Amino acid sequence: MIRFYAENGLFHLQTCEFSYVMQVLDNQQLVHRYFGKKVNRFSSSNKMTYLDRAFAPSPISGNRTFSLDALPLEYSSNGLGDFRSASIEVRNDFGVGLDLKYRAHRISKGKPALEGLPSSFATDDEVETLEIDLYDALTDITLTLFYSVFEEANFLARSAKITTGEHATKIEGCLSFTLDMPRKDFVVHSLMGRYGYEKEWTRTPLTSGRYEIGSVRGASGHSQTPFIALADEAITEDSGEIYTAHLVYSGNFKAFAETSPLHHTRWGIGLNDQAFSWQLEAHQSFQTPEALLSYTDQGLTAMTQTSHAFIKRHLVRSSFVDKARPILINNWEATYFDFTEEKILELAQTASQTGIELFVLDDGWFGRRDDDESSLGDWFVNRAKLPHGLEGLARSVNGLGMEFGLWFEPEMISIDSELYRAHPDWAIQITGRDPIYSREQLVLDLSQDQVCDYIIDSVTRILESANITYVKWDMNRNITSMPETVANGERYEFHHRYMLGLYRILETLTMRFPHILFESCSGGGGRNDLGMIYYMPQAWASDNTDAIGRLSIQEGTSLIYPVNSLGAHVSAVPNHQVGRVTPLETRGNVAMMGGAFGYELDLTSLEQEEIDEITEQVATYKSIRATVQNGQCYRLARTSNTQSTIYVNEDQSQAVFTFVKILAQPEAPLIQVRLKGLDPEAQYHCPRLKETFYGDELMNIGLTMPHVQKDYFSVQYIFNKL
């Protein structure tokens, strides 16, 4: 709900849980007044207080108490007296900075899409939008702030659009939002990591100074995620305030929280201003990506469940959003590049006997691709490996009762490729400088329309050539050597233009092939963000397939992303990334708690006993798939040595509980775990324990874990309501 009170220039935005309040001051400055637990009416109990602050410049002659550096500005600019991090920085013939004053506003049902960018959506009954125009008279620049209120979903979507008038300007930084909070006693929650160790849930007390994360890689990156949250110091899973911000974007970003000398906190998220600028000529506009804000005082579990629900209902466009994700087998760790059609069909035959539903052919099927040094960009079938082509292979796989999927890496190009020999200018590189390689490949220049058209056309030809129902879209290196054609002078537009090109490609292909389940990948979780989830409802969370390594990766990812958006596979032992030997039961249990379940190992090399166990795992997962993929997620008691999670379906008729212990310890104490989310009055039967329990007993007293003296021990209990 959006209310405007003309008598005092007050905007009050409300969701089911929070209020967001702004006010236009007498001098037309737009300030932030409140963001937090919902109030029915805002009456300025937190009065605006003006004090004469030393060295705080004032734009009003004779009034030393009015300073931009002390005001809670709704959207701030550089150079005019606010010395905190700016929301927008510009430079033009008039100097730097914008004196942004309220000019007009509009309130409407529904929500406009953002041109060329992924963004949230809803019906007109689910969302209202407020547009506020701020204007700088000297430069003739209008800044439009967008606020879309998802009342029941408990989210606020924010973005900004900068429009020039008669004069050109250069944008040197623009964030999707900044917000001033009247306190600084926060703990910052973020998702950090590295390749193979993505989405590590990081908690950092906010002290004096600045906390910042970001990426300048041309992708959101393995190391940091476009998400930031400010939480109470004593927050728990079930209680405490937390403010969250997501960025719906897949390229360079930054998120920050900084404290002021007055013990306030300014935080924000948006495009990274490092190596970024954007030239606007007269009467042109620039749109920032969208930021998604939320608040709850019900703790971390409420934050997670609210985030999952919003993303699935208001950000994932795919028809697969709530559909059961197929159990798959991927041949990568089974064969790598060394495969034949005969070997693939042998693997598919064994997979079909276990009940696996989808076979995915990974890297090596195209061009002359026998290693990672050639053929990227040459999207035609390697007939030496696949004499019957993709059409014949897909037909054979379908004949075994399975669907057929395919791996691509369309954004990349190998120097040893027909495409590079024909179009070296399509690769991102600097003329006269030796290329910078990563995985022996370069990146295609998606800022060029003809390159985007080539990718769309070549991928379309392949997808139309066979019965392909799944695509794994990979991106295995970051961008270097920004080309001089767009980096000349002081214009640094390339990275954002690349993302706009990528989004055009994904928009075209996902709309053209709505029956295909697209999974994004970037060396695992190197571009696992809400910008990609908009187009591809599933992501390969990490190339690290080790079950124990996956525990923290899956926990961090599912902190904010829906569980059914995460690909989680059982792989071989010793594990190919870390060499760990983990029981097949634990590998299966961890992958099943990860979301979209599958396998990535050579089934044909296993003993019959292992095949039988995999067959049982597949059958078990089919019986719990709906609960895991679409149920409510609860993180339970965990330590540095244990982790436990429970998923409960909507009507509380089934719950899937998984407990993992990493290392055995001498004289270890018994572990009791209290479950969550059950119907307290109902009885639940656990087939594995062959016992029946009341829901309140399991939640209030808990369940004693087996005392097993083995490393990497796990157990999965399924509870069905009687």
Structure tokens at 301: 């579990």
Q: What is the DSSP string of 244-256?
A: EEEEE-SSSEEEE
- Please name the residues in contact with 160: beta carbons below 8 A apart, sequence gap of 6 or more: 75, 87, 88, 143, 144, 145, 146, 174, 175, 176, 177, 287, 288
Q: Which one from 474, 602, 696, 711 is the annotated catalytic residue?
A: 474
With a CB cutoff of 8 Å and minimum separation 6, the contacts of 61 are none
**Count of Cβ atoms closer than 10 Å to residue 458 Cβ:** 18
* Contact predicate 656/718, CB 8 Å: yes
Are the C-beta atoms of residues 535 and 320 closer than 8 Å to each other? no
Integer Cα distance of 582 and 571 in angstroms: 10
Q: How far is CA 675 from the centre of its chain?
A: 28
> Annotated catalytic, 543?
yes
- Rounded to whole angstroms, how far apart are CA atoms 599 and 572? 9
Separation between Cα atoms, residue 302 and residue 200, nearest integer Å? 19
Query: Are the CB atoms for 356 and 570 separated by under 8 Å?
Result: no
The pair of three-digit structure tokens given for residue 608, joined into one six-digit string:
């019959």
Cβ neighbours of 282 (radius 10 Å):
11
**Phi, psi for residue 350 in degrees, rounded to 5:** -65, -40
Amino acid at 102: Y
DSSP characters over 428-483: ---TTS----BTTBEEB-TTSHHHHHHHHHHHHHHHHHTT--EEEE-------S--
Paired tokens of 14: 């409300």
**Spatial contact of 595 and 565, defined as CB atoms under 8 Å apart:** yes
| Catalytic site includes residue 474 | yes
Query: Which of the following is catalytic: 136, 363, 416, 543?
Result: 543
Cα 593 to Cα 286: distance, rounded to the nearest angstrom: 42
If you search the block for the tokens 């190339």, which residue do you land on? 543
**How far, in whole angstroms, is CA 386 from its chain's centroid?**
36
CB-based contact 292:156 (threshold 8 Å): yes
The helix/strand/coil state of 41 is coil
For residues 409 and 361, is the Cβ–Cβ distance under 8 A?
A: no
- Residue 242: which of 37, 46, 14, 72 has the closest Cα? 37
Angle ∠(658,660,664) on CA atoms, nearest 5? 150
* Closest C-alpha to 36, from 22, 9, 10, 17: 17
Annotated catalytic sites, by residue? 474, 543
